[in-house]
Structure 1
Amino acid sequence: MRFLRIFILLGILSFPAQGIAQTLSNQFSDAAPPRLWKVQKKNADGPVTTFYFLGATHLGLSVEYDAYFNRVVLPAFATADILLYEGANGREPEHKPDCDPAVLTADGRAFLASARQTVEQVYFNAQEAIHGEQLRAGIDDRTTAEQRRRAAQVFIAGLDEFDLREIYLLYGQVMLDFNGAAAPAGTGQVSRGQVANELRRSRPGLPVRDVDSLYGVHRAYCSAGPERIQFLRSALQAKNSAGDDYLHQVPALEREFVDILSRNKPASGTAPKQFDQLNVLDGAFLCGRNKEWERDILRLDDGKVHFYVLGLKHLFPVDHDGVHCAGLLADLQAVGMTPQIVE
């Protein structure tokens, strides 16, 4: 099973959309600028191939479900022949990347060892909760707690740090589902979840494809050098993604979403602190993946309408902390395609 439970919020590493209590602020619901671009490509001997690029988050902020979404995004999506987005469960089989722990600093390796114990306990607790539910349903696998503990140890010992974060988020959510979590007061109305999933539900028969290859995000992580450990550290040091900390940051995230669209580039320091500390990984997770996506887009020449939903920061220039890239829209323009904003 592929535990793809990491997502990218505005192009920044974030938390899983399905694990968030759906109580999000709506204070910017009429203020978000246009965020859908259209590109058409025609070869001399081929049909016109159309691409839409929708800048989004993987939270489904209420600000994304505004008048522009209803007036522009939905009609454009109605013409799509295929939906493509991050986290749609991979594509072609490929060799699983090797995240060599020797690349990490001594501090990073020490944190990894400690994190492995933490993740093992979370995984074991979730498995015990599931086991209890099975017993109540009349299903008994005849295993002892000691056997189940040993199985958890063996499983977690075989994971690299990228997999550890996915397991931590996934099984942390399992425990949240069992125990429940109260949403903090005053956080606003209910959201429908991330836009890509909402679009997918609206046309259940439409073909869907992941923008990343099967281990594309994993490979990007492994290539990010010693600082990649911040990715795991951020998950283990923050509260669960349905907790007060995240939900109270939603208004700030909505402001950042509007600001990026207004400026056509990210502004440093606007995101919550734990997200800003991950900017050092943008070279791998933003710039590197953009180049892979660009190569895929340039190969497409099938006369169909391809509708992409991407983390917003992938579309615009990145220039900070030694990380520099022009963004996917500029990259496509540089090779002769002309993205036009859809008003």
Structure 2
Amino acid sequence: MNLTSRTVLNTFAIVGFCVAANAAEAPPRLWEVTGKNEQGVTGKFYILPVTHNGLAAEHDDYFYRTVVPIAMQADLFLHESSGMLPADAPACPIPFADTTENREILGKAHADVARALLNIIPPAAAMPGDTENDRLQAREASRIFAHSLTRDLSEYGLIIAMGSYLTKTQESHPERLPKADAGYASRPEIARYIAYRRQKDGKKANASIDEKYDLVNAYCGLGKDRPRYLQRWLALLDPTKFAPPSKNELVRMDEGFVDAVRDKQLNGVLVDALAGYGDAPIVCDRNDKWLAKMKQNLGGGIRFYALGMAHVFQPAPNDKKRCDGLLLRLEKTGFTISVVK
């Protein structure tokens, strides 16, 4: 298995975390869904709305005492994932428009991903008699190796790779992550934490709710917005420049999460945090597919879905472009939604 493969598999690894003492207390937020599909099959499943930030408000007593045990007992755990290695992500059918700006964005994207990989490659073991020149040559060999592994990645392959390098850095080299203040510590994303716990306990039934090419197709469907989307996500995920939120920003995001759970609706705080998720290919088109799967798979064992809040809840009141969230759509089709206390 090559280094890229090992790095991607380490996406499921976990790092230590601390819960901020001043984090807002979130309401219960695991929904049990019961009902009958068009074929007359009855069943139930669970939906947990999550952020992709690992907020302190998500890592609370309710999560560990109520959510985790149910997730561990589920027959199948599903979350958002590309389900592919970086090298497997195909190129978009239509390339970027050939402009100077787009060429610069793509060139920088490849350089940044190669640099992030180089940052996690262990240095070559020192040998007796090694000189400074020997060490420089070994590092140059590592740089060339990192470049060779990333130079042919597609646009979406670059995003997958950068996300896996951030997780690997959080796991193995937390000291390499810049800190906004002395009190900040990385916390794992909730969906990745559950997947890790289940895998660690021998529960192999973890899967992506997305089909293999759904996410890359959604990305390719962004059209002229694709270069900016690529630029934004690589900047957010880059472990060599990872800028954790300030203490005030963390508190604000926690409060926005609590308000969204209470109202079952996104708000201005989370819309800012989830910028880029309002595009129809990223949210609405995938919701259509997920809703059909949820209904189709009733009766096939208990399923637990950990899905982004932009998919689960209603859009912010001033967002006229977005579609209804999954909870409301399930209620409209006759399912009973009840929160697990």
TM score, norm. by length of structure 2: 0.74
1:300 Cα offset (Å): 1.0
1:53 Cα offset (Å): 0.4
Q: Is the aligned partner of 1:130 residue 2:122? A: yes
- What are the superposed Cα offsets for residues 14-58 of structure 1, whole Å, 9 maximum, x if unpaired? xx89698735524235x2012111112346986632111011223
- The CA distance in 2 between the partners of 1:251 and 1:134, in whole Å, is 45
- Map of 1:233 onto structure 2: 231
- Name the SS of the counterpart of 2:45 in structure 1: strand
- The CA distance in 2 between the partners of 1:95 and 1:236, in whole Å, is 16
Q: Is the 8 A contact 1:85 1:211 kept in 2?
A: yes
1:227 Cα offset (Å): 1.2
- What are the superposed Cα offsets for residues 95-148 of structure 1, whole Å, 9 maximum, x if unpaired? 94625323576533432233323334444x348x43625989xxxxxx987776
Q: Is the aligned partner of 1:187 residue 2:183? A: yes
- Map of 2:289 onto structure 1: 292
Could you tell me which amino acid in structure 1 is paired with residue 191 of structure 2? Answer: A
Tell me which of 302, 313, 318 is aligned to 1:316.
313
What are the equivalent positions in structure 2 for 1:55-204 lying under 5 Å apart? 55-70=49-64, 72-74=66-68, 76-77=70-71, 79-87=73-81, 89=83, 96=90, 98=92, 100-102=94-96, 107-123=101-117, 125-126=118-119, 129-130=121-122, 132-133=124-125, 152-171=146-165, 177=172, 180-181=175-176, 183-187=179-183, 191=187, 193-200=188-195, 201=197, 203-204=201-202
- The CA distance in 1 between the partners of 2:15 and 2:271, in whole Å, is 16
Q: Is the 8 A contact 2:7 2:168 kept in 1?
A: no
- Map of 1:325 onto structure 2: 323
Q: Is the aligned partner of 1:224 residue 2:216? A: no
Q: Is the 8 A contact 1:60 1:195 kept in 2?
A: yes
- Name the SS of the counterpart of 1:246 in structure 2: coil
Pair 158,240 (structure 1): closer, same or farther in 2 beyond 3 Å: closer
- The CA distance in 2 between the partners of 1:256 and 1:242, in whole Å, is 28
Between Structure 1 and Structure 2, how many residues are aligned?
318
Q: Is the 8 A contact 2:32 2:340 kept in 1?
A: yes
Query: Is the deviation greater in 62-71 or in 248-257?
Result: 62-71
- Map of 1:210 onto structure 2: 208
Which structure 2 segments of 5+ residues have no match?
A: 129-136
- Map of 1:263 onto structure 2: 263
1:86 Cα offset (Å): 1.9
**Percent of paired sites with the same residue:** 24
- Map of 1:53 onto structure 2: 47
Q: Is the 8 A contact 1:39 1:339 kept in 2?
A: yes
1:162 Cα offset (Å): 1.7
Q: RMSD between aligned alpha carbons?
A: 4.1
Query: Is the deviation greater in 144-153 or in 20-29?
Result: 144-153
Could you tell me which amino acid in structure 1 is paired with residue 292 of structure 2? Answer: R
- The CA distance in 1 between the partners of 2:315 and 2:184, in whole Å, is 32
Pair 222,38 (structure 1): closer, same or farther in 2 beyond 3 Å: same
Q: Is the 8 A contact 1:52 1:307 kept in 2?
A: yes
- Name the SS of the counterpart of 1:230 in structure 2: helix
- Name the SS of the counterpart of 1:50 in structure 2: strand
TM score, norm. by length of structure 1: 0.73
Could you tell me which amino acid in structure 1 is paired with residue 264 of structure 2? Answer: N
